[in-house]
Amino acid sequence: MKLTSKLKRQLCQLLGASCVQTDETSLALYGYDCSVSRARPDGVVHLQNTQQIAPLLKWLYAHKIPFVAHASATNHAGSCVPLQGGLILNLGALNHILEINTREGYALVEPGVVVGDLQARLAPLGFFYAPDPASESVCTVGGNLAQNASGARCMKYGATLDHVIAVHFVLPDGSPVSWTHGQPGPDMIGLLAGSEGTLGIITQLKVKILPLATHLETFLVAFPSLQQSIQAVSDLTAQGVIPRCVEAMDQLTLQSVEEFSHAGYPVDVGALLLVELDGSASTIKKEKKVLEQICHQNQAQYFIPAVSQAQRAKLWSGRKSAFAAMARLAPNVMVGDGTVPRSALPDTLQQVQKILQESHLRAGLLFHAGDGNFHPHILFDQRNSLETQHAHRVMNEILKLCVQAGGTLSGEHGIGVEKRAVMAKQYDVSTLRAMSRLKQLLDPLSLANPLKIIPHNYAEKAAAGPVLSNEIKTLQTQLLQMYPCPIVGLNSQLKTKEKKILSSHSLDQIIEIDTANYTATVQAGVSLTVLAQALKKAGAYSVLPAAKGSVGGAFCSGCFPDFYAHVTGIEALLPNGSFIRYGGKFTKNSAGYHLTRLLAGSQGTLGLVTQLTFRIFAHPVDVLKPQPFTQVAPSSLWKQLVEEWRTEVAHG
Amino acid sequence: MAKSAAHSNKTLRSLCTALGKRSVYNSVAHCNRCGLCAAVCPVYAKIRQESFSPRGRNQALRLVLEGKLNLRKNKAQLKQIAYSCTLCGQCSQVCPGQIPTVQHVLELRRRLSGAALPSSLFKLMRLRETSPRLFAEIVRGGLALHRAKLLPGFSWLKFLKERLPRTHYPAFNPPAQQRPTLIYLPSFEAQFLRPDIAQQVYTLAAHKYHPAVWLNTPSGLFEYVYGDLPRARKLVRCLLTRHARTGNGKLPLLIDSTELYEFLQQAPALFDGFDTWQRKAEHFVSCLRFVTDLFPKKLSAASTPSPVLFMSTSLLGAPAPLVAQTQEILHTLFKKNFVQCEYTSACLPPFGYGLGNTQAVQGLHLSAVGTVARHQTRTVVVCSVGTALEMEALLHRFYPSAQVRHVAHLTDNVCNLTTKATS
């Protein structure tokens, strides 16, 4: 819509004339991000403080004006492009670090704080903020949560979502809300991870900060083939060694990187791993020994430890300049971020290389070997529309390949507009519908960053969903007949007067304990004791205790909030009987709304969780202590969500 | 096409980029909008708006070249974009594709020719060539008017009042030399505002190259920075001719400021398409020397009680080899007391080259002073006379216990070179 002079005048009165721009030049400069997409907004608003956000959103809601949050706009998916025009809300000036509390280990920041600036403030205090996207010198903490960004350290420390303790947020209708991790009820912060500004505006974040590692050692290891390098990473994980970073390059990329940066990489090898260990001196010593042994078992050709800080910097300079090495070769670089289960990485990479070779496009391949996330860098010139279309086609093919391999379209960059169409390949109709209803609930007028994430006509394009087993079908029928009814596990402490109770006790199958990816897939009714025994038999461990109750109960009751971060995939029946699937055996996912977190701690109100996939470990880990069960009365938003998903059956 | 013909003389045909010679459009189209440049842009750090980021500047030029932004209709906004850049060049250092944003900003300025400053100021600057004494008197008169609040001040003009009355041209006028072995080309600031630095450089030069000759010729830097390319070319041509006619035409040419050095390094690019002049310019560039070249190879450490801070801030970006050379000298002289400060926290608006945005100017000034205060230094070393002037005025106002020293002043620490030369 066009911003009329009357509306502009009102906006100027609301925020101050200096904060509002509608000139052609400003509009042209806020229509892009790091992707190829472009669109023209109708106005740009430079916000000066967080107090301006709620009244502004109220005003926008009253006038039905779409808006897009914008800070550094460094994303690769077109998430900041205003497809429906409207206002750009520039949050760049909301860059104040409000508090750093080293005793309790958190930092309170505004959404526009640049990650690199936060790290610079924390380093002298002996602390760091774990997420480290490659663009950390310019990307913002708020943007990172909106994309659920991560980086090289993700394997050990997790993505942004795992480091956010609390969020202040303004919904598109201008109502402010505050959510805290671990608060009774669904983990609403999880909703924001990967939401790409489509649910409202983040106004403040409380993030975890961690003490800096006392010791750090970096190793460069070269292998004859990509498969052997990946096998080494799997073996390393199996031995219980979780490196701080495991970065990898294929031959083609390492040759171009070495030619460009002269980092001292051997070029006569098939693949290269850059491994970094952190922790105490004794731990590193032990882990180094294991690493060396495993690398030799996998026929490593070179094992080069960085003996000095300068050498470490030199080794990293190669990896860090990989993007630069590619960026010089062509005006545009399309960067993908498909993620697959680690065990599927070698095969997937082989097929990706084949696709790239057949495409006749120049491309390089970099990957975070530890978490199965890989970045094809496709070179093209945007001015050549045929070449651009071809690059998009090739990238879509690669992304589809990731989905076929049991992975996700996006591990850390988000969906935006550029991967939107491929979402229909990853999720079935009911899952996409659940996401769509979620968006509709929080943003009924579709004003917050409209037309992103969920594909158009998904009902026609997306797959119909899996064939349900008999036991799930039975539960589905019961759910439709009985809802609203309490849903219980094996050790439910829910106090209810309802006579009709739906139990997950029939879902007692352990589907898979995968020691290649170190994930377990179990049905929700599996008892924790049975799980512990099965894991012991397989030589694996989980963070769940061998206590009373079921895995689903542990997840939904809210007694184990720290377990949520370990859950990578979920299957569930929603109140309307539709069956949804989200996530899988891959460790990071930025494709769509984080449905896993929404069902976590929901105490059965949002549906029946039927299956969970979660991380397990090769070595004993600290077992979580359960928090006392608190039966919570759903908040109004929670109730609305239940209602939205329940009544959806009528529309569906 | 008619437009491009009209621009042909006023704009560059091609740019010398890190990736080779490219047309302006090809060069600007190489920006893939990754935004990493914003992390080091001192102006963006203060204002946080896309129009003030290097990415925004590149995209603005691209849109103009593609005809998607009308130059005439959007002149005011484009002018703000083009003239809010400090031309420090840090963005190109971190850019994965090493996009020459400074060159693109200058190209945008050329296309906005005449929009930046009143033509009377350009005429005034021409007086430097024809009548330097009159020029100095007019600047003094201008200052008097400024004091009487009859003349609106540029950000830098107010700083002159402390300097100019005491040091107006020609405070130092060395005698003409027969058979010179070196030419010293003082920067505009050294010529008119800080002749003491000029004298120091000249004395240092005379010690190594005797006799040295002083060349009072405008370099064309002012015109180049303000988008008057034909005039800049003309002045550089004069300079090339003067150089060719002095001595055997191969004399080394000594420069005292990094921005002037960087500008003259780009002289061949100014004559793209003019083969004869380009060859002459290439020879000229090979003769350029910076003041750090005059330092003896073996230096002994100097004692200083407080940290010595090096600010490499400069218009057009200090060339990396010169910065490295200066750092090496400072490191040898001051050992652990030498502090290299981060660029973004110590970038100053280009002295005399009017950064238009007062919000940014104030922010940059405070950052720079804050950096000095944070390091509790008493000595700030710079390698540009323009930076020395700007920093000196700031420290005088906000942090008087620290003093600014041009790199040429470090000779006092090296040995008694100055005394020897004078005697």
Residues 6+ apart with CB under 8 A from B319: B258, B261, B262, B265
User: In the predicted model, what is the mean pLDDT of chain B?
Assistant: 81
**One domain, residues B128 and B182:** yes
Contact B50 A327 (CB under 8 A): no
From A60-64, A67-71, A495-499, B274-278, the region with the lowest mean pLDDT = A495-499
Closest-CA residue of chain B to A77: B34
Largest CA distance in chain B: 65
Name the pLDDT band for B163 (thresholds 50, 70, 90).
very low
**One domain, residues B151 and B282:** yes
Residue B167 has pLDDT above 60, yes or no: no
The predicted pLDDT at position B418 comes to 40
Per the model's pLDDT, the better-predicted residue between B366 and A197 turns out to be A197
Nearest chain A CA: its distance from B62 CA (Å) = 11
Domain holding B89, by residue range, is: 14-112
Residue A534 has pLDDT above 90, yes or no: yes
Dist. CA A241–CA A235, nearest whole Å: 9
Residue B8 lies in a domain: no
Choosing from B277, B293, B309, the residue where a domain stops is: B293
The predicted pLDDT at position B203 comes to 84
Residue B160 lies in a domain: yes
Dist. CA A6–CA A10, nearest whole Å: 6
Task: Render pLDDT for A402-455 as a digit per residue (tens, 0 to 9).
Answer: 999 999 999 999 999 999 999 999 999 999 999 999 999 999 999 999 999 999
Looking at the structure of chain B, the number of domains it has is 3
What pTM did the predictor assign?
A: 0.91
One-letter amino acid for residue B396 of the chain: H
The predicted pLDDT at position B2 comes to 40
Residues 6+ apart with CB under 8 A from A467: none
Contact A24 B69 (CB under 8 A): yes
**One domain, residues B67 and B130:** no
Residue B9 lies in a domain: no
Name the pLDDT band for A379 (thresholds 50, 70, 90).
very high
Residue A418 DSSP symbol: T
Per the model's pLDDT, the better-predicted residue between B8 and B287 turns out to be B287
Query: Which residues in B lie closer than 8 A to residue A25 (C-beta atoms)?
Result: 51, 60, 69, 74, 77-78, 81
Query: Which residues in B lie closer than 8 A to residue A326 (C-beta atoms)?
Result: 96
Nearest chain A CA: its distance from B266 CA (Å) = 22
CA angle at A138 for the pair B338 and A260, rounded to the nearest 5° = 75
Question: What are the phi and psi torsion angles at B341 (to 5°)?
Answer: -95, 155
The predicted pLDDT at position B19 comes to 85
**One domain, residues B274 and B336:** no
Report helix, strand or coil for A97.
Answer: strand
**One domain, residues B239 and B274:** yes
Nearest chain B CA: its distance from A474 CA (Å) = 51
- Sole residue written with tokens 């090495």: A325
**One domain, residues B289 and B331:** no
Query: Which residues in B lie closer than 8 A to residue A26 (C-beta atoms)?
Result: 50-51, 77
Residue B157 lies in a domain: yes
Number of helices and strands (H, E) in chain A?
Answer: 22, 25
Contact A138 B35 (CB under 8 A): yes
Chain A interface residues (partner B, CB cutoff 8 A): 23-26, 28-30, 32-34, 46, 72-74, 90, 92-93, 95, 112, 114, 116, 135, 137-138, 321, 323-324, 326-328, 331-333, 381-383
Specify the CATH number for the domain of residue B394.
3.40.50
Chain B interface residues (partner A, CB cutoff 8 A): 19, 26, 29-36, 38-39, 48-51, 56, 59-60, 63, 68-70, 73-74, 77-78, 81, 94, 96-98
Report helix, strand or coil for A335.
Answer: strand
CB A289 within 8 A of CB A261: no
CB A554 within 8 A of CB A575: no
Mutate to test the interface with B, among A19, A21, A23, A25 (most CBs of B within 10 A): A25
Q: What is the ipTM of this complex?
A: 0.93
**One domain, residues B245 and B333:** no
Specify the CATH number for the domain of residue B273.
1.20.1050
Largest CA distance in chain A: 73
What mean pLDDT comes out for the span B180-203? 84
Residue B6 lies in a domain: no
Q: Which of B19, B39, B77 sits opposite A25 (nearest CB)?
A: B77
Nearest chain A CA: its distance from B198 CA (Å) = 40
Nearest chain B CA: its distance from A434 CA (Å) = 33
Q: Which of A29, A74, A382 sits opposite B56 (nearest CB)?
A: A29
Nearest chain B CA: its distance from A601 CA (Å) = 38
**One domain, residues B255 and B348:** no
**One domain, residues B332 and B318:** yes
From A226-235, A368-377, B125-134, B270-279, the region with the lowest mean pLDDT = B125-134
Residue B169 lies in a domain: yes
The predicted pLDDT at position A313 comes to 86
Task: Render pLDDT for B63-114 as a digit per residue (tens, 0 to 9).
Answer: 999 999 999 999 989 988 998 888 888 899 888 888 999 999 999 999 987 5
Choosing from B237, B260, B293, the residue where a domain stops is: B293
Residues 6+ apart with CB under 8 A from A259: A325
Burial B39-77 (b: 16+ CB within 10 A, else e): bbbbbbbbbbbbbbbbbbbbbbbbbbbeeebeeeebeeb
* Range among A63-67, B18-22, B368-372 with highest mean pLDDT value: A63-67
- Sole residue written with tokens 């010529």: B191
Q: Which of B31, B39, B97 sits opposite A138 (nearest CB)?
A: B39
What mean pLDDT comes out for the span A287-296? 94
Nearest chain A CA: its distance from B89 CA (Å) = 17
Which among A559, A516, A514 is positioned nearest to A535, based on CA atoms? A514
Mutate to test the interface with A, among B36, B44, B68, B78 (most CBs of A within 10 A): B36
Contact B73 A24 (CB under 8 A): yes
DSSP per-residue codes, B346-362: SPPPPTTS----HHHHH
Residue B404 lies in a domain: yes
Helices within B20-131 (DSSP H only): 24-29, 42-47, 54-65, 75-83, 90-94, 101-111, 119-130
Closest-CA residue of chain B to A90: B49
Residue B2 lies in a domain: no
Task: Render pLDDT for A502-523 as a digit per residue (tens, 0 to 9).
Answer: 888 899 999 999 988 899 999 9
Choosing from B112, B144, B162, the residue where a domain stops is: B112
The predicted pLDDT at position B423 comes to 34
Query: Which residues in B lie closer than 8 A to residue A74 (C-beta atoms)?
Result: 34-36
CB pairs under 8 A between A and B: 89
User: In the predicted model, what is the mean pLDDT of chain A?
Assistant: 91
Residue B36 has pLDDT above 70, yes or no: yes
Q: Which of B35, B77, B97 sits opposite A73 (nearest CB)?
A: B35
Specify the CATH number for the domain of residue B32.
1.10.1060.10
Task: Render pLDDT for B302-322 as a digit per residue (tens, 0 to 9).
Answer: 777 788 999 888 888 888 889
The predicted pLDDT at position A20 comes to 96
**One domain, residues B105 and B124:** no
Q: Percentage of chain B surpassing pLDDT 70?
A: 82
Contact B74 A24 (CB under 8 A): yes
